[in-house]
Structure 1
Amino acid sequence: MSPKQHRGEVTSDLLLDAALRLYTESGEPGVTVTAVTRTSGVSLGSLYHHFGSLDGLLTALTERWTGRLLEQSVTALTSAETAREGIGAVVGAYLAFVRDHPGAALLVHSPRADRRLMARGQETRDAQEPSVSAMSRWIRPRVEAGEVAPLPMPLLETLLLGPVVAVARRHLSGVRDVDLDEAARLLPERIWRSISAAGA
């Protein structure tokens, strides 16, 4: 990497880190061009050079943390030996991310992220392809071995992650009637029943 490329990465990171800090403190209304440049110490021109607009910065920030969430979840899943263990691992990793990175988790599960997904679903899916493919590669042999029900892969992904995403959204919305640790303990068995070949 050339010194110029390195400086560009450092500048991008400063802007992204500042935007996340502001989002965590004040939500999307707090992420203004003035606030980001002041907090990051980066010039207005650099913000536009790297991201094109404030919307571009927020999109890049959402993609960065969505990628980290998926990577953390898939790493947990693929480190497990059995499908049943994998479910517990991915549920635990996902909810740990929500607990440990509340601002980033709120952004990833925000209406902004949902609008982008609805408007550019295939593009978003393509960006997540490495993580999705890793998940599919891990699940497929377990389907073939008769451990996991032979359902279409998109349905298996939905059954695996859908309940976890719902709990995360409920928690992040301010409704704190579900404890994340309790959910991490109880959800895996329920999810396992929904995808287990024995329960099919």
Structure 2
Amino acid sequence: MSIESSLPRARQRRSPEASRDNILAAAETILLASGPQDLKLVEVAKGAGVANATVLHHFGSIDGVQTALMERMIRQLVDEVIAITATNGDAAVLAGDGMRALFDAFEAKGAARLAAWLVLTGEASRMTSVRGAVQEVIDARINQVAGVSVEILGDFILGCVTFALGVGLFGPPLSDLLGKPQGRARDVALGILQARLDAATV
């Protein structure tokens, strides 16, 4: 073993933005693995490979981490849907690929569990910042969408998020309970949303 390889490596110094991203990535990993109940300061700091004080420095508290994580996840989801529409200029694409991408993200990433946890613990007011992020994306790109008004697209995105949250939380267990095949709740929700957009753009 060389002398160089035996020396301890200098700790990598991240920019504030990179440090925040690293902490949020660790928090998201915990959310996916075991749910929002394990989004605790010690666990997030350990997952990010930083001291507890570093998490507090960037977010103020574990509550701040949870809020920032939810805002980032929602922003990414809505941005993805709007980006698909802006690229194609076709409302049908939003209703198809965009909706499916949104549902996939909510079902796979556990965002629905975190949103429900905030509501059930009386912390729904944190969603104000999420609403602001959604509105920011809509305002920035809505004029690029062909054939769909601001109000209609805003309502449509609201419907997508609402249905996706419901499917992400209750789709599989309710399907089992009612003797329906897996994925049936998702299919029903997508059908309702598609019909709503079709009726609005006729």
Please confirm whether the aligned pair reaches a TM-score higher than 0.5, indicating the same fold: yes
C-alpha separation between the residues in 1 aligned to 2:50 and 2:37?
Answer: 20
- Cα distance in 1 for partners of 2:50, 2:126 equals 31
In structure 1, the residue matched to 2:132 is 126
Equivalent residue number for residue 194 of structure 2: 189
Cα distance in 1, alignment partners of residues 137 and 97 from structure 2: 15
Q: 1:53 to 1:30 in 2, by over 3 A?
A: same
Partner of 1:164: 160
CA distance in 2, matches of 1:185, 1:163: 10
Sort the Cα spacing of 1:187 and 1:91 in 2 relative to 1 into closer, same or farther, 3 A: farther
SS of equivalent residue, structure 1 residue 17: helix
- Structure showing greater radius of gyration is 2
- Mark the runs of 5 or more structure 1 residues left unpaired by the alignment: 143-147
* CA distance in structure 2 between the aligned counterparts of 1:51 and 1:87, rounded to whole angstroms: 36
| 1:27 maps onto 2:24 in alignment | no
Change (3 A) 1:172 1:70: same
* Structure-2 separation of matches of 1:26 and 1:54: 16
* Residue 78 of structure 1 pairs with residue 89 of structure 2: no
Q: Kindly report which structure 2 residues correspond to 1:3-82, keeping only aligned pairs within 5 A, or say none.
A: 6-82=14-90
Instruction: State the TM-score, normalized to the length of structure 2.
Output: 0.72
Contact 2:84 2:93 in 1 (8 A): no
TM-score under structure 1 normalisation? 0.72
**What CA RMSD, in Å, does the superposition of the two structures yield over aligned residues?**
3.1
Cα offset, 1:191, TM superposition: 2.4
In structure 2, the residue matched to 1:88 is 96
- 1:145 corresponds in structure 2 to none
Q: Which residue is 2:8 aligned to?
A: none
Distance verdict in 2 for CA 1:42–1:102, change over 3 Å: same
- Cα-to-partner distance string for 1:159-188 (whole Å, 9 max, x where unaligned): x12442233122221432362773586345
Partner of 2:118: 112
